[in-house]
Amino acid sequence: MSQKVQIALAAGDGIGPEIMDACLRVFEAAGVQEQIEFIPVEMGERVFAAGDSRGMTDEAVETVERTGLLYKGPMGTPIGGGGKSINVTLRKTFGAFANLRHFQSLPGVDTVFSRAGVPVDIYVVRENIEDTYGGIEHRLTNDVIECKRLISAPGCDQVHKFAFKAADRFGIKKVHCAHKANIMKMTDGLFLDRFRAEAQHHPGIEIADVIIDALCMNLVLRPEEYQMIVLPNLQGDIVSDLAAGLVGGLGFAPSANIGDQISIFEAVHGTAPDIAGKGIANPTSLLLSGLMMLRHLGMLKQAATIENALLASLEDGVHTGDVRGDGHPVGTQEFADAIVSRLGRLPSGKEARPIPDEATANHTPPTRPSTNQLMRTFETIESTVAGCDIYVDTLITPLELAQRLERICEGTAFKLTMISNRGTQVWPSGSPYTEVVDYYRVRFELRDPAIVLGQMGQMPTIHLLTKVAEKFGVTDFQPLKYYDGKPGYSLAQGQ
C-alpha cells in the first residue's frame, strides 16, 4: 500500500480532547486510519500559558507546513490583552483564505424549521484573511480607537473562485453575494464587483446579491431560498453563527478553511470549559468537519458511510444532552459508540447520502516557497495624486480648525475642501447638532486639478503634512489618488 497521508492533529482545549477522541474512534472503526496518519501537535491554551503569543509551537508550525493539513478541536484564546486568536492566526498565517461551512437540517434534531417542515441546506463561504480580521488597531486620541478594514482585489478573487468551483462541485444552481456596499461603497463595493467578474466564468450558475441586514432577516424568515452565500470576513462570521442557529446550533456546524497549499478543518464552537471532562460534549461539529476533510482528500466512500451512520443515530433518537429532540441523551463516548454500531446502515428518510466508489486518499504535501507570493489583480491602472487626508487630534471647533488650516495651506498647491468628524462632514457645511470627538479628518485637494493632476508626485502632500504637524497633533495621513481617472477615496457623510 502507498504511504499514508499525514495530517497534523491538535485536540484543542476544554472539551476538545474528549470530542476529538470520539471522532478518531469513529474514523478508526470506518478504516480511515488505514490511509491516514495523524501527527499530534501542540497548540492552544498551554502554549499561550508558556509565553508564546502565537499559541503554537515551532514544531507545530513545521508539521502543518510539511503536511499541508490540520485537523483541530476548539481552542481557547486570551481575552483582551495577550495573544491574538489562534484560530484566526492559523487561517491567516497559512493562507487558508476560504471558510466553507455547511448548514443542513438533521433528523432527530428539533428546530423551529424542522417542526414547520422547512428544510435548511445552505453553504456559507466566508473570506478568511482580510476585513477587520487583519486586527490592525490603534489608539488615535484620548477618546478614539480605530480598526482598519482592508479588502484587496486578489483576496476577493480567491474566495469567489473557490465559491463558484464549490458550487459547481456540489451541484448548486444559485449563489448569493452578501455585502454592505450601500454604505461601504469602496470596500464592499470591490467585493461585489469581483463577485460579478468571477460569475462571468460560470454562466450555468445564477447569481444575486443581497445587503447583509436583509439577508439576516431573510434567513430567519425564508432560509429555503438560499443555497450558497459568499461574504466578507466579519459579515461571514456573523452569518455563519446565525445559520448554525437554524439547524440546531454550533454543535452541528462543520468548518473547512481552504487554501491553495494548506487547509484546516475544525470545530467552530467554543471550548465549553464548564462541561470539560464531564463526558457530555457533542462531537458532531468536529466529526462533520472531519468528513469535509475526508472528502477534500478524495475519501468519499468513507465520508458518506460515516455520515449515514451519524444520521441513522440521530434518527434513532441517539444524541447528546445539548440537542433538543426525541430520545434520551447520551454521553460523548456513547454517542461515538452509537455511530460506530451503525456503520454500514442508512437512515430511513430522504437524508441518506449516496455511497460513492472513491475511497483512496489523494494528497500532495505543499512545497515550502522560498518567499511570500505577491498577488495582483489590476496591473495596468494609472494612479495620480489628487491631495491628502490628514487626521488631527484637537479640541477646537470645526470653524476655528478650518480657519487655521486655510492659513497653513496658503501658498501650496492644495486647498482645504472638507472637515469631517467620525465620518460626517462638519465643514464647510453641516449641522451644529452633529456631536464631535477629538479626532478630525481634514481633506486637502488640488487648487487647480486640471493643470496639476498627473504632474505631481506625493512629496508636496508630505510637505503639507509637515506644515500641519507643526501646529497640530497628527494621528494619521492618507494620500488621495485618482485611479484611471476615478477618485480612489470616498465622500464624507453629508458631503
At residue 322, the pLDDT reads 87
Domains 5-341 and 383-487 share a fold: no
Quick: pLDDT tens for 300-349.
999 999 999 999 999 999 999 888 777 779 999 999 999 999 999 999 87
Residue type, 245: G
Longest dimension (CA), the chain: 84
Q: What is the mean pLDDT of the chain?
A: 94
Is it true that the peptide bond before 428 is cis, omega within 30 degrees of 0?
Answer: yes
pTM exceeds cut of 0.85: yes
CA 340, distance to chain mean position in Å, is 33
- Alpha-helix residue ranges (DSSP H) falling in 247-318: 284-297, 300-315
For the cut 80, the answer to whether the pLDDT of residue 451 exceeds it is no
CA distance linking residue 204 with residue 200, whole number of Å: 9
Fold classified for 383-487: Alpha-Beta Plaits (3.30.70)
Cα torsion 375, 377, 378, 380: sign:
positive
Q: Report the run of H or E that residue 475 belongs to, with start and end.
A: strand 473-483
Quick: pLDDT tens for 379-414.
999 999 999 999 999 999 999 999 999 999 999 999
The model's confidence at residue 1, banded by pLDDT at 50, 70 and 90, is very low
Quick: pLDDT tens for 106-123.
998 989 999 999 999 999
At residue 81, the pLDDT reads 56
Number of residues written out for the chain: 495
Question: Are the beta carbons of 301 and 307 closer than 8 angstroms?
Answer: no
Q: Locate the domains of the chain by residue range.
A: 5-341, 383-487
CA distance linking residue 307 with residue 304, whole number of Å: 5
The model's confidence at residue 79, banded by pLDDT at 50, 70 and 90, is low
The model's confidence at residue 480, banded by pLDDT at 50, 70 and 90, is very high
Report the top-level CATH class of 5-341: alpha beta
C-alpha distances (whole Å) from 424 to each of 283, 303, 421 are: 48, 53, 5
Give the mean pLDDT of 122-127: 98
CA distance linking residue 23 with residue 267, whole number of Å: 11
For the cut 50, the answer to whether the pLDDT of residue 419 exceeds it is yes
